[in-house]
Structure 1
Amino acid sequence: MGKTLIFGATGNLGGLTAALLHESAPDALRVSTSREAGLSRLAKRFPQAEAVVCDWNVEESVVAALDGVSRLLVVPPDMVTDENVVTPNIINAARKAGTVEQVVRMLGMPPGFTLDQAPPAYVRTRCGAGLHVVAKHHLDASGLPVTYVNVPAWIMFNLALFVASDVKPRRRISMPADTDSARMWVSERDIAAAFARVLSDPVPDHIGRELLLTSPERHSYADVAALFSDVLGETVPYVDHDRALRASMGEAFDTMRTYLRCERGTYDDVPHDPAITELLGRPQETLRDYITEHQGTFR
C-alpha cells in the first residue's frame, strides 16, 4: 500500500487527522503545506512523516505530491479555494499518478444539494455548501474512488472564531439575527477521528459512500448563549449585533455575512445520522462538553 496524503496538514482538521495517523502509521503518512514556510512546522509536529510543499492551484505540483500515494484527504479552506481549479487539478493528478485508491473529501452541505439548487451568491462566497457543491459536481463526474465525509453542521471551533471576542470581555453572544438558525454542531476532534477511521479502514469499506456527521441536538444563538450561561455560571445573553463577526472576519465580513444569510434554513431538514458514533465507537462530543472543556478561552 502507498502513502496517505493529507492536503493542508497545517490546518485545523488536516492537522488533527494527520496527528492521529502519525500515531498509528507514521511511515505511511505524507503531509503537505502550500508554503515553504510551513515545512518546518510539519517536520516538527510530524517528525516521522514525509512533509512536502504542494500548491493545489498548479496541477504539476499536485502530480508530484501524489507520487506513490494511495489515499488522500481533501479539506479545503473557505473563501480562498477555487473549486473549479483545485478539484479538476486533483482529479487530473490522481489519474496521472495511477496509484490512488481512495479520495476522502470533506463536504459541508445538505445531502442531495446540487449546484443547480445553489443560489449564485451562495456559490460566490466560496464557503460551506457554496464551496463544496462545486467540488462534488466535479468529483461525481470523475469516476474516481471517492468517499464523502459530509458535515452539514457548524464545527465547534467556530465558537472561538465568532463569539469569543464578545463572550470574554462583555459576557454576551453577539451575532446578526438574520444569520440565526437552529444548527447542528460537531467537534473538530470527532471529525478528525472520523477521517482517520475512514483512511485506516480497508479501502472497499467506504468507497462510494457519503458519511453524514451530524448531532442529535440543534442550537440557535440563544441556545448557545444559554449553554454559556450554565457552564460559566454567569448570565450570557444573546444580542443581535455584528461586532464579534466583524472583529473576527475583518475585510471578509461582507462575504461571511452573505454566506450565513444564504445558509440560514438550508440545513433545517437534515436528519441526525448515527454514522459518527458508529465510526468513532463512542459517544460524540456535545456542544456543552466542548464549552466546558474550553471555558478558559471564554472566561
Structure 2
Amino acid sequence: MILITGATGTIGSELVRQLVARGIPIRQMSRRGLPDFVPGDFEDPESLRKAIDGVDSVFLLSAPGPRVPEHDRAMVAAAVDGGVGKLVKLSAIGTADEGAPGNWHAAGERAVRESGLAWTILRPAGFASNVLRWLPAMRAGQPIPNQTGDGSHGFIDPRDVAAVAAEALISADHAGRTYTLTGPELLSVPDQVAVMSEVLGQTLRAVDVPLEVYAEQLRAAGLDEAVVSVALRGAELIRSGGEQTLTDDVERVLGRPAGTFRSWVEFHRAAFE
C-alpha cells in the first residue's frame, strides 16, 4: 500500500493515475475531506498516524511555501513511528544547504535521509505544464508574460516525474538515490512560445516583464512575501543563465529518454483550444 500526499496536484494526480493503471494499491491523502481520500493534515499528527496505518511506502509532497520543512518533518516522524518502509520525497532542482534563503526542501531532504527508512529524493526542474498559466493571456489575445528573459531551463514533462516516482516507490533499485530530473533540452520562454505557436497553429509572442513589475504582480495577487521572494530569486536565476542543468536521470530510471516540451504540448493540445 502506497500513500500519496499532494494527490490532487500536478504530480500527485499523475502518479495516482500511473500506479492505478499498474494495479498498485494506493491511498490518497487530503486535508479537504474529499471522497475516496483519507483525511490527513501535516499540522495534525494524529491524522497523519491514521493516514499511514497499514502503509508500506509514502510519496511525500508538500505544497510550496515556508512551512514545507515542518510539514516534511511531521510526515517523516509519522512514517517512522508507523513502521513505514520507504519514503520518496518530491523536492526541487537546485536544493542546497538549509541556510540558503527560501530553500524550503533542504530540511525535509535531511529528515528523509536521517529517517532510517529506505528513501529516494526527486529534484525536478520546472514543469512543462507551467505554461498553462499563460492561458488567460492567450485567450485574451495578449502577449505571453516572460519573467525570465532569454534564460533557458530544462523543463520536464510532469508525466516523467510521476513515472520516476512510481519506479522509486515500487522498486528497491532506487534506495538512497537523489535524482535531478530534467527534460532533454534547454528552452527559454521565447523558445517555448515558438514551439507552441507551431504546434497550435497560433501566432503567439512573448513580452518581457521586468522583475520589479513581476514582484508587484505577485503581491497584488495576495501572495505571502516569502513566496514572492522565492519566485523572484528563481526567475532571476533562470534569467541570468544560472539554471541550465540537464541530466539523464529520467532515462537512467525509465530506460527511455525524457519527453520533450513539444511532445507535452502536442499531447495537451486540447487544453489550449
Shared fold (TM-score, shorter chain, > 0.5)? yes
Q: Which residue is 1:126 aligned to?
A: none
Instruction: Read off the aligned partner of 1:155 and give its amino acid letter.
Output: F
**1:162-212 alpha-carbon deviations (Å, 9 max, x no partner):** x1211232252213357x6311111111111111122121x3x11110022
More helix by share: 1
Specify whether residues 255 and 170 from structure 1 end up closer, same or farther in structure 2 by C-alpha distance, changes over 3 A only.
farther
Report SS of the residue matched to 2:258: coil
Question: In structure 2, what is the Cα distance between the partners aligned to 1:279 and 1:210?
Answer: 12
Question: In structure 1, what is the Cα distance between the partners aligned to 2:217 and 2:74?
Answer: 34
| Residue of structure 1 aligned with 2:158, choices 185, 188, 211 | 188
State the superposition RMSD in angstroms.
Answer: 2.7
Report SS of the residue matched to 1:185: coil
> CA offset at residue 273 of structure 1?
1.9
> CA offset at residue 246 of structure 1?
4.5
> CA offset at residue 251 of structure 1?
1.7
Within-5 A mapping of 1:195-274: 195-201=165-171, 203=172, 205-241=173-209, 246=217, 250-252=221-223, 257-263=228-234, 264-265=236-237, 268=242, 271-274=245-248
CA contact (8 A) 1:246 1:253 kept: no
**1:33-73 alpha-carbon deviations (Å, 9 max, x no partner):** 1121x1x2xx3xxxxxxx41111211121111111211110
Runs of 4+ in structure 1 over 6 Å off: none
Question: In structure 2, what is the Cα distance between the partners aligned to 1:169 and 1:270?
Answer: 32
Q: Which residue is 2:97 aligned to?
A: 114
Specify whether residues 255 and 70 from structure 1 end up closer, same or farther in structure 2 by C-alpha distance, changes over 3 A only.
same
**1:199-254 alpha-carbon deviations (Å, 9 max, x no partner):** 121x3x111100221123111122122222222334322102469x959x932286
| Residue of structure 2 aligned with 1:131, choices 89, 94, 104 | 104
Report SS of the residue matched to 2:121: strand
Matched, 1:89 2:74: yes
Q: Which residue is 1:73 aligned to?
A: 59
> CA offset at residue 257 of structure 1?
4.6
Segments of structure 1 that go 5 or more residues without pairing to the other structure are 44-50, 124-129
User: More deviation in 249-258 or 278-287?
Assistant: 249-258
Matched, 1:32 2:6: no
> CA offset at residue 75 of structure 1?
1.5
Specify whether residues 268 and 168 from structure 1 end up closer, same or farther in structure 2 by C-alpha distance, changes over 3 A only.
same
Question: In structure 2, what is the Cα distance between the partners aligned to 1:7 and 1:35?
Answer: 12
TM-score, with length taken from structure 2: 0.85
Matched, 1:22 2:20: yes
